[in-house]
Amino acid sequence: RVVCVRHSEWCVRYSEWCVRYSEWCVCDTVSGVCDTVSGVCDTVSGVCDTVSGVCDTVSGVCDTVSGVCDTVSGVCDTVSGVCAIQRVVCVRHSEWCVRYSEWCVRYSEWCVRYSEWCVRHSEWCVCDT
């Protein structure tokens, strides 16, 4: 675990090995950086789940690089990879959501901040795949 956190480039090189031994694939919960190339840090449990694609419903951040967490169902949208709290935009302007999917990942703390709003309007908390 220490090796993975301190030498992230080593984990990237042997990402398949890290996935195989997922109990060793612990991320840095302070910086929020995952120790594998295929996943985003789960800042609550500190574990990167790159196999099942299940997201952390507390932080609202998906633990795979291809999707952002749907905080209602707890499932990652790994197809479109867009923010789960913008259903209206996703449905009407799916190309816009795909274009700015990186923005959603980069500002994941914004999604976390409004997670309560997302839960309240659960019908909006699913992306149009």
Domain coordinates of the chain in residue numbers?
A: 1-50, 52-129
25 near 33, Cβ under 8 Å?
Answer: no
**Residue holding tokens 């840090």?**
41
Which tens digit of pLDDT belongs to each residue from 92-124? Answer: 334 444 444 545 444 454 444 554 444 444 444
- With beta carbons less than 8 A apart as the criterion, state whether 78 and 53 touch: yes
pLDDT score for 17? 52
pLDDT at position 15: 52
- In the chain, which residues have pLDDT < 50? 1-12, 19, 21-44, 46-72, 74-100, 102, 104-107, 109-112, 115-129
Q: How far apart are CA 115 and CA 36, in angstroms?
A: 26
Spatial neighbors of 121 by CB under 8 A, at least 6 apart, are none
pLDDT of residue 13: 52
